[in-house]
Structure 1
Amino acid sequence: MKRQNISSGAVWENTIGYSRAVRVGNVVEVAGTTAMDGDQVIGIGDAYEQTRFILQKMEKALQEAGATMQDVVRTRIYVTDISQWEAVGRAHGEYFSNIKPASTMVEVNALIRPEQLVEIEATAILQTTLEK
C-alpha cells in the first residue's frame, strides 16, 4: 500500500524524525499535537483554547490526508492537570459530539514545554484507500 506522509513544516519533524500525520491505505494516524504555532504556544494557561487550537491543526492534517473529523475513530488526550478535564472535554465535544470516537484522557507529568497543557493523537479510518 502507498504511504503518504503529511508534514506541518515544523522544524522538529526532521530533527526528531516524525510526520504530523501518516496515511497508509484507509488509515490515517495523526501524531501527538500540541498548541504550538511556530515557536509560540497558543492559549497559555487555557486548556480549552489549547484543545480547540489542537483540533483545528488536526483537522487540517486530516484534510491533507483526504480525511475529515467524521473519519476519526479514536483520540488519545494527554493533559498535565486532570482537573482541567471538563475544559478539554468541552472543546473535544464541540468537534466530536456527533462522531463520538473512542477516546482516552490521561494525566501526564509534563509535555515538552511547561506552557503546553494538552496533547492529542487521533486515528481516522476512511471508506476508500489510496492507490497502490
Structure 2
Amino acid sequence: MSGIGVRRGSVGPGQDWYGYSEVVRVGPLAVTAGCTAAVDGVVQAPDDAAGQARIAFRAGLAALAEVGLGPEHVIGTRVFVVDRADAMAVGTVHGEVFGDVRPAATMVVVAGLVDPAALVEVEFTAWAG
C-alpha cells in the first residue's frame, strides 16, 4: 500500500507470527500497536506500574518518531492497567508525558495482559495534519 510507513522494531517476537506492525502511518494519521514495558521479550520494572508506564510510553513515542511524529501529534491514548489500584500512578505518568498536549484519553482496567508480568499497555493515535 502506498503512503504507509511501518516500523518493525524490537516490540517482540510476535510481530511475525501475529502479523502486526509496531506503528502504521497513512498520510497524516499514525496508530501504534499496544506497547508494554517489554524489552527484548522481558518485562522491565516488575511490580511497578508507574515504571512500566514510563517504559511503555517511551516505546510508543519511539515508534511514532520512526514515522516522523512526536508527542505533540498524539490526539488519543488508550491505557490498559491490570490493577485498578495502579490507575492513579499510571495516570500521573500519562500527565507527565502528555500534560501539555492534552490528547483524548481512555484508561481501562483489564483482567490481564498476554505476559502476566505486564501491568500496563498503551496505544497512541497521532495526527500530523
> For the superposition of Structure 1 and Structure 2, which TM-score range results when normalised by the shorter chain?
over 0.9
Confirm whether residue 90 of structure 1 aligns to residue 92 of structure 2.
Answer: yes
Q: How many residue pairs align between the two structures?
A: 127
1:11 deviates by 1.8
Question: Match of 1:44?
Answer: 46
Deviations 1:12-61 (A, max 9, x none): 10110000000001000011111100121111100000000011111111
TM-score, with normalisation over the residues of structure 1? 0.93
Runs ≥4 in structure 1, deviation > 6 angstroms? none
- 2:86 aligned partner, one-letter code: Q
Question: Match of 1:61?
Answer: 63
Cα RMSD, aligned residues only: 0.9
1:22-37 equivalences under 5 Å are 22-37=24-39
Confirm whether residue 11 of structure 1 aligns to residue 3 of structure 2.
Answer: no
In structure 1, list runs of 5 or more residues that go unmatched: 128-132
- Percentage of identical aligned residues: 36
In structure 2, list runs of 5 or more residues that go unmatched: none
TM-score, with normalisation over the residues of structure 2? 0.95
Confirm whether residue 120 of structure 1 aligns to residue 122 of structure 2.
Answer: yes
